[in-house]
Structure formats: structure tokens, C-alpha cells
């Protein structure tokens, strides 16, 4: 149709009104292309280099669409920076990370005032804001958070990466916790989440994956501070539809881990319980000075519940269980990861019955990273 070229618009649409409508259609397709590609992990159908730089954009009357156009261009930059599939490296150069994060935060700041999200942590949750406007504001904010998560996710993909840039690891975890807070608030104060679960669950799964990776690869640092946010997110998971895409994606990521994690839990459970009763103060403070949280933050770990033996879903691992049981499985993963230490995780070599023949057999930490990275 040539809608990506200004000359085609002029030649094919003689009326100014028709040209504006055709232009808006193109930019809607452009934004949908970015959403779809990130959702399925494939390259964009529309390349920014192929789009006429003089192609007119919607006017100020379509502020939300203009925001999505800016977001779409950021998606292109982030996509180009991410290591390609099968790459031996999983990191992005530090200067590129800082630049992309700067661009994303600038985009968030450039959103018009009436589309800015009123964050619940500021106590500014609007009571009389129209539902559709509040939904748009929340989605713009979550899209910004998700792009920042993609830029920083490599910081939590392994214990060595966590400790190589602890500040970056803490940042991506805080972004994940922030997204969960936004989603929980939407669910508690409106029917917005319930009406569009498919849209919002995408961001929820991304945040859950970041926290599980962080707790798996650095349990002493993150297990205590992430427990509340993770538990709140699991409550949202319990409301998933069993047959939803989000349920299937989540279950496909965790089902192969459950037998191995149960074995790990049985190995470390008695020792963790013994250490907790013998010297709880030492257990909390052990390792400070090696990058762990300050005492006032680590102390939250003492409030974590006693870890119970981890059991598999009654349905086994063949089919998607009911979402309540899936929530139990997620908490089981979190609790086992949280009571392990990095050495035990690295030394645990339980073999995996990998169902996907495209992947070779792998060790425990690498398998966890592979599975949950796909949800981010």
C-alpha cells in the first residue's frame, strides 16, 4: 500500500482528511508490530530504516498514539542492542545500557501530563479518573518499565552477572517490584486488570521471571526483600484462567523445573532449618560485605515463613494445573531458591528431562535462566 512513504500518501489520497486517516492507520500498524514482535520474540515486520523520515505523524489530538510511536522507536533501539538468539554473550555494553535507560526515562517524562501515570506509592491513585484513561496511563507506564527490564535483565541471569554489577541487578529487581505494585493496585482498586488480563499478564510474567532469576542467582541478597512483592504477584496468578495464554507460557517455563527443584529442596531443607534454629542472627547477617543488602533490609528475611517440603502439582507436569496449584508451585520455587545459596545452586547438577529437542542438556542454573529469560 505504500503507507510508509509520504509520496504514496500524497499520490493515493487527494483529500487531507483521507491522508491523515491513512497515516494514522500506518502508525497503528507500526505500534502493533512492535507489541506483537516483543510478545513472540521475533523481528519486526516494519523496519525503521524503511520508513520515510518525512512521513507525517498524528497531531496532538492523538497524543496516546504519538506516545506509542515514540515507544515503538525505542523498541527498535532496544531490540538491536539485545544479544541475538544463540549468542555466546548475554550482556549489553555498559555505555549502551546507560544510554538506552536514559532514552526510556526521557520518553516516560515526555508523556503528556494527562497521560502520566499516578503511581500508588505517591498516594495519588485517582478515584474519579475515567477507566479508559487510567488504563492507557498504566499501560504506557508498564511499557516503559518493560523496556527498562529488557535493557537490564542480563544483570540477573547468573550469579557472576549479579555480583559483577550489583547496582544493575538491584535496579532491574526494583523495576520488576514496581510493575507488580502497579498491577496489584489496579486489581485492588478497579476492574481494569480483570477486564484485560491478557494485556496486563504479559507484564506480570516478566516481573515474576526477573524476581525468580534474582532469587535463584543471589538468594541472600534478594529473597527477603522480594518475598512480599512475589507473594502479591502470585495472588494475581491464582486469578488466571487455566486455559489462558499466560497460564500456558508460565507453566511451560516451570513444569520441567519442578522435579529438580523438589530434589534440591529435599537436599537443603533440613540443613536450612537446622541453621535457622541454631543461629538465626548469623544466618541473616552471614556474607555481609560481599554485596548483600544492609542489615535493615536483610532483616526482612527473618520474617519469611518456615520453608515447607516442596511437592509437585497433583496433575504432575504433563498438563496445566489449576491456577491455585500453579501459585503454590511458584511459591515453592521461590522458597527453595531463597533458602539455597549460590554455591549449592551451582553445584546442583540434577539432569533435566528437557522436552524441547532444540536445546541440549544443561545444568541447573543455566536451565533456570534459559526458561525464565523467555518470559521477560
The pTM for the full model equals 0.79
**pLDDT value at 259 more than 50:** yes
Residue 246 shares a structural domain with residue 318 = yes
Model confidence over 296-343: pLDDT tens digits?
444 443 444 443 344 444 444 446 667 777 778 888 888 887 776 655
The whole-angstrom separation of Cα 318 and Cα 352 is: 15
User: 115 and 157, same structural domain?
Assistant: yes
How far apart, in whole angstroms, are the C-alpha atoms of residue 333 and residue 347? Answer: 18
Q: Which of 81, 115, 134 is the last residue of a domain?
A: 81
Residues 280 and 364 in one domain: yes
Distance CA 6, CA 19 (A): 10
| Residues 159, 60 share a domain | no
pLDDT at 334: 84
CB-CB contact of 65 with 59 (8 Å): no
My answer on whether 296 and 151 are in the same domain is: yes
If asked whether residues 154 and 138 sit together in one domain, one would say yes
- How many domains, the chain? 2
More confident residue, 283 or 348: 348
| 283 and 349 fall within a common domain | yes
pLDDT higher than threshold 90 for residue 20: no
Q: Which of 19, 52, 81 represents a domain boundary (last residue)?
A: 81
In this predicted structure, the answer to whether residue 15 has a pLDDT above a threshold of 60 is yes
Same domain for 23 and 96, yes or no, is no
Q: Would the pLDDT of 120 be above 60? A: yes
Residues 164 and 125 in one domain: yes
The reply to whether 299 and 230 lie within a common domain is yes
Over the stretch 48-82, which tens digit does the pLDDT of each residue have?
A: 888 888 888 888 899 999 999 999 999 999 999 98
Residue with cell 494475581: 236
Q: Which of 81, 114, 147 is the last residue of a domain?
A: 81
Q: What is the mean pLDDT of the chain?
A: 77
**Do both 74 and 98 map to the same domain?**
no
Give the domain extent around 169: 87-373
> Which residue is it, cell 542472627?
281
223 and 188 share a domain? Answer: yes
Residue that wins the pLDDT comparison between 204 and 277 = 204
Task: Please state, in angstroms and as integers, the Cα–Cα distance from residue 209 to each residue in 11, 153, 180, 372, following that order.
Answer: 49, 10, 12, 5
Amino acid at each position: 500500500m505504500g503507507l510508509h512513504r509520504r509520496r504514496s500518501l500524497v499520490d493515493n489520497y487527494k483529500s487531507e482528511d483521507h491522508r491523515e486517516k491513512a497515516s494514522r492507520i500506518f502508525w497503528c500498524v507500526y505500534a502493533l508490530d512492535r507489541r506483537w514482535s516483543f510478545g513472540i520474540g521475533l523481528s519486526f515486520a516494519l523496519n525503521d530504516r524503511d520508513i520515510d523520515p518525512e512521513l507525517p505523524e498524528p497531531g496532538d489530538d492523538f497524543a496516546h498514539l504519538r506516545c506509542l510511536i515514540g515507544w515503538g522507536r525505542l523498541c527498535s533501539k532496544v531490540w538491536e542492542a539485545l544479544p541475538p538468539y544463540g549468542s555466546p554473550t548475554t550482556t549489553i555494553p555498559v555505555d549502551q545500557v546507560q544510554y538506552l535507560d536514559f532514552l526510556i526515562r526521557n520518553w516516560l517524562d515526555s508523556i503528556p501530563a494527562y497521560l502520566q501515570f499516578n503511581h500508588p506509592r505517591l498516594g495519588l491513585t485517582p478515584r474519579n479518573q475515567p477507566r479508559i484513561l487510567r488504563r492507557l496511563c498504566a499501560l504506557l507506564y508498564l511499557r516503559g518499565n518493560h523496556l527498562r527490564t529488557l535493557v537490564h535483565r542480563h544483570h540477573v541471569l547468573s550469579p557472576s552477572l549479579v555480583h559483577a554489577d550489583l547496582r544493575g541487578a538491584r535496579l532491574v529487581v526494583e523495576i520488576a517490584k514496581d510493575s507488580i505494585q502497579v498491577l496489584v493496585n489496579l486489581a485492588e482498586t478497579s476492574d481494569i486488570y480483570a477486564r484485560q488480563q491478557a494485556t496486563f499478564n504479559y507484564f506480570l510474567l516478566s516481573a515474576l521471571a526477573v524476581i525468580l532469576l534474582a532469587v535463584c542467582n543471589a538468594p541472600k541478597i534478594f529473597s527477603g526483600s522480594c518475598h512480599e512483592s512475589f507473594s502479591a504477584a502470585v495472588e494475581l496468578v491464582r486469578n488466571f484462567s487455566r486455559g489462558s495464554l499466560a497460564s500456558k507460557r508460565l507453566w511451560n517455563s516451570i513444569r520441567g523445573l519442578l522435579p529438580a527443584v523438589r530434589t534440591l529442596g529435599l537436599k537443603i531443607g533440613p540443613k536450612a532449618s537446622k541453621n535457622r534454629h541454631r543461629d538465626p542472627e548469623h544466618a541473616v547477617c552471614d556474607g555481609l560485605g560481599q554485596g548483600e543488602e544492609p542489615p535493615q533490609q536483610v532483616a526482612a528475611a527473618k520474617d519469611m515463613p518456615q520453608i515447607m517440603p516442596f511437592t509437585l502439582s497433583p496433575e504432575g507436569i504433563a498438563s496445566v494445573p489449576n491456577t491455585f496449584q500453579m501459585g503454590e508451585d511458584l511459591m515453592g520455587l521461590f522458597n527453595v531458591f531463597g533458602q539455597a545459596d549460590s554455591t549449592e545452586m551451582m553445584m546442583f547438577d540434577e539432569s533435566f528431562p528437557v522436552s524441547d529437542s532444540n536445546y541440549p542438556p544443561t545444568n541447573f542454573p543455566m536451565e533456570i535462566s534459559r526458561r525464565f529469560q523467555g518470559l521477560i
